A and B are shown apart, each in its own frame.
Chain A
């Protein structure tokens, strides 16, 4: 999606014929993931398409970090969350959960060559075991007395740490173990533990949609589409058959699982560099666009704040000081989450890009205000007197005499701030904007090429920032040219 298409799609957010479903593509296979080239993949991406078709609507995926999917649902950014959300009593009380569309056990993965590898839940007491936070697996591990390590970054990370020897085992849902827990150095034990069920989540007040989803699931089970879908992804289990009410295993072979395993042994370059570069290019464009727009806001607002502080009447000056202290003294991430998820409680629902732009701009305005203030204070007070004696009004004096000199002092730190903002813009992925770092996370989860892609993305950030550093040096030179001439 190009930047303009992203803006347009954001503007049209709530077209009624769309079924907006939330999922984190950074999580990985087999749920929802990206495997360039091509569209979003995963058994839940296909399920969302089937459900939407049954409801006579068009499925539109909304990207959100896994931990924020349910808040996004409550905020009204998505109609449904379909992303391996486990059925629990708490959730059944707080949301409208559909009937399960999958069920299966937790599976334990260990290192192949580990002589002390645990084989049962009882063996896990006191051992370091990786899992994902807030899951049934985590609760089982805590009950077993394991030393639990949880990972927020996605499904690849716990297995990577296990392979590196940082943990002794990983306990996770069967689908994850199937896709990430089989590799040369790791093996997943055949025994299963417990049972986890996945359901589609709708808002508590949206029981009608939940009922429609249930009816659609019923049809998809009856006409065999859902069982076949699970079989293709290698996810058919006894437990799934039981919750879906299907006795016999559906026909077909796990072609998607085989293709995934084939791809992951070939590495990311098998599909060619082009699609990966294109995905990174789109992410870079969003990062650049957002950063430039936010910096523009920060510079305008910052200049106004600095002028208010230095030249405004006392109450205005105090207000500007309060603004700077507030936005400089609290984390950007907090501000971003409050703008996106908090303001809707006051009736202000901003689109993701606008919320990201606003939060970054408001935050950096505090830093720019301090730069500009330093610039204004660096101009001797007597320059103001000289301008006023010549008959210039206060604002004329600021505009034509003080500001042009203040900019020379304020400009060099602005470049520095811009480069910092370029990097901080990666935080907007928490409000569903897919920028460069999020694109990296998604690609890395799908290709397992953390290092190569990381170096590549680092290079892209450098390339984005360098032209601005050069531009600033040039402007600085132009502005300072005549000032360095000595007599």
Chain B
């Protein structure tokens, strides 16, 4: 695994080219976790969408091992960077295992199902492989989304407000999931404003403001 490196990322939106991200830089080592905090509207979601390849950016670069992407080249990140959506976004017409194997199958990867079953097992969903997403609890759905992202063997994993839709007792499990992914050496970025989660993660904390990241004291705010 390689580090996720972001240098001078800039993103302007709208007719007036308002700067949402302005020269943002970040480095997450293999197995490292960056926790990004910040008020609503500070650009946290934009940052994740840029890193995942869903949105282009106007300046700077993102590097993941041999993959290096500049403005206009964000499409190359699709399928390489996993993203656990705040709204989870399971595919309702596919069973749990099919949710995980769809992308590997379409890419012609033979070991997609093996990889998917490994992650379902690790996340305690081995017996839910044939269930429909609608029959799962909120926590189970999120774990399927994690398994789905990891079944594609991403080079980095992004989390968007992973605790916001969960019951209080389930929120604590998220830190354990992040830790499990960490063991694989995958660099992770967790966007949250859940203080309990950020404390439990005990990783490097950043605050996003004015389009830039400022490092905070590890474990504190």
Residues of A that sit less than 8 Å from B by CB = 380, 382-383, 385-392, 396, 400-401, 404-405, 408, 479, 482-487
**Among candidates A383, A389, A392, A401, residue contacting B83 with C-beta atoms closer than 8 Å:** A389
Give B98's nearest chain A residue, CB to CB: A400
**Among candidates B54, B136, B149, residue contacting A385 with C-beta atoms closer than 8 Å:** B54
If over half of B's interface residues share one DSSP class (helix, strand or loop), that class is named, otherwise mixed; here it is: loop
Query: In whole Å, how far is A379's beta carbon from the nearest beta carbon of chain B?
Result: 9
Q: Is B14 an interface residue (CB 8 A)?
A: no
Query: In whole Å, how far is A122's beta carbon from the nearest beta carbon of chain B?
Result: 78
**Among candidates B79, B87, B103, residue contacting A382 with C-beta atoms closer than 8 Å:** B87
Give A396's nearest chain B residue, CB to CB: B106
In angstroms, Cα B82 to Cα A387, docked, is 11
Query: In whole Å, how far is A484's beta carbon from the nearest beta carbon of chain B?
Result: 8
Whether B103 and A392, one on each chain, are in contact in the complex, defined by CB atoms closer than 8 angstroms, is yes
**Among candidates B78, B132, B149, residue contacting A388 with C-beta atoms closer than 8 Å:** B78
If over half of A's interface residues share one DSSP class (helix, strand or loop), that class is named, otherwise mixed; here it is: helix
Whether B89 and A382, one on each chain, are in contact in the complex, defined by CB atoms closer than 8 angstroms, is yes
Whether A382 and B85, one on each chain, are in contact in the complex, defined by CB atoms closer than 8 angstroms, is yes
**Do A390 and B85 form a contact, CB below 8 Å, given A383-B91, A396-B106, A401-B91?**
no
17 extra interchain contacts, Cβ-Cβ under 8 A, other than A389-B52, A391-B79?
A383-B89, A385-B89, A387-B103, A389-B53, A389-B54, A390-B152, A391-B78, A391-B106, A400-B102, A401-B91, A405-B91, A405-B93, A479-B93, A482-B92, A485-B132, A487-B135, A487-B137
**Do A404 and B93 form a contact, CB below 8 Å, given A390-B79, A391-B79, A487-B134?**
yes
By a CB distance below 8 angstroms, the chain A residues around B152 are 390-391
By a CB distance below 8 angstroms, the chain B residues around A390 are 79, 102-103, 148-149, 152
In angstroms, Cα B132 to Cα A331, docked, is 45
In angstroms, Cα B80 to Cα A388, docked, is 11
By a CB distance below 8 angstroms, the chain B residues around A487 are 134-137
Query: In whole Å, how far is A315's beta carbon from the nearest beta carbon of chain B?
Result: 22
Give B102's nearest chain A residue, CB to CB: A400
By a CB distance below 8 angstroms, the chain B residues around A385 are 49, 54, 85, 89
Query: In whole Å, how far is A486's beta carbon from the nearest beta carbon of chain B?
Result: 7
**Do A405 and B92 form a contact, CB below 8 Å, given A382-B85, A482-B134?**
yes
Q: Is B181 an interface residue (CB 8 A)?
A: no
In angstroms, Cα B92 to Cα A479, docked, is 11
By a CB distance below 8 angstroms, the chain B residues around A404 are 93
Query: In whole Å, how far is B40's beta carbon from the nearest beta carbon of chain A?
Result: 18
Give B48's nearest chain A residue, CB to CB: A389
Q: Total A-B residue pairs with C-beta atoms closer than 8 Å?
A: 77
In angstroms, Cα B78 to Cα A19, docked, is 68
Q: Is B81 an interface residue (CB 8 A)?
A: yes
B30-72 toward A: CB 8 Å interface, digit per residue (1/0)?
Answer: 0000000000000000000100111000000000000000000
In angstroms, Cα B38 to Cα A418, docked, is 54
By a CB distance below 8 angstroms, the chain B residues around A486 are 134-135
Query: In whole Å, how far is A466's beta carbon from the nearest beta carbon of chain B?
Result: 28
Q: Is B107 an interface residue (CB 8 A)?
A: yes
Give A484's nearest chain B residue, CB to CB: B134
By a CB distance below 8 angstroms, the chain A residues around B92 are 405, 482-483
Give A383's nearest chain B residue, CB to CB: B89
10 A-B contacts (beta carbon < 8 Å): A386-B85, A386-B91, A389-B53, A389-B54, A390-B152, A404-B93, A405-B92, A405-B93, A483-B134, A485-B132
By a CB distance below 8 angstroms, the chain B residues around A391 are 78-80, 103, 106-107, 152
By a CB distance below 8 angstroms, the chain A residues around B80 are 391
By a CB distance below 8 angstroms, the chain B residues around A482 are 92-93, 95, 132, 134-135
- Which of A382, A389, A391, A400 is the most central at the interface, judged by chain B CB atoms within 10 Å of its CB? A389
Give B89's nearest chain A residue, CB to CB: A386
In angstroms, Cα B19 to Cα A354, docked, is 58
Give A388's nearest chain B residue, CB to CB: B78
In angstroms, Cα B134 to Cα A408, docked, is 16
By a CB distance below 8 angstroms, the chain A residues around B136 are 487
**For the complex of A and B, 7 pairs with smallest distance between CB atoms:** A391-B79, A482-B132, A386-B89, A390-B103, A404-B93, A389-B83, A485-B135
B3-22 toward A: CB 8 Å interface, digit per residue (1/0)?
Answer: 00000000000000000000
Query: In whole Å, how far is A331's beta carbon from the nearest beta carbon of chain B?
Result: 38
**Do A389 and B91 form a contact, CB below 8 Å, given A382-B85, A485-B132, A487-B134?**
no
B136-180 toward A: CB 8 Å interface, digit per residue (1/0)?
Answer: 110000000000110010000000000000000000000000000
In angstroms, Cα B148 to Cα A371, docked, is 31
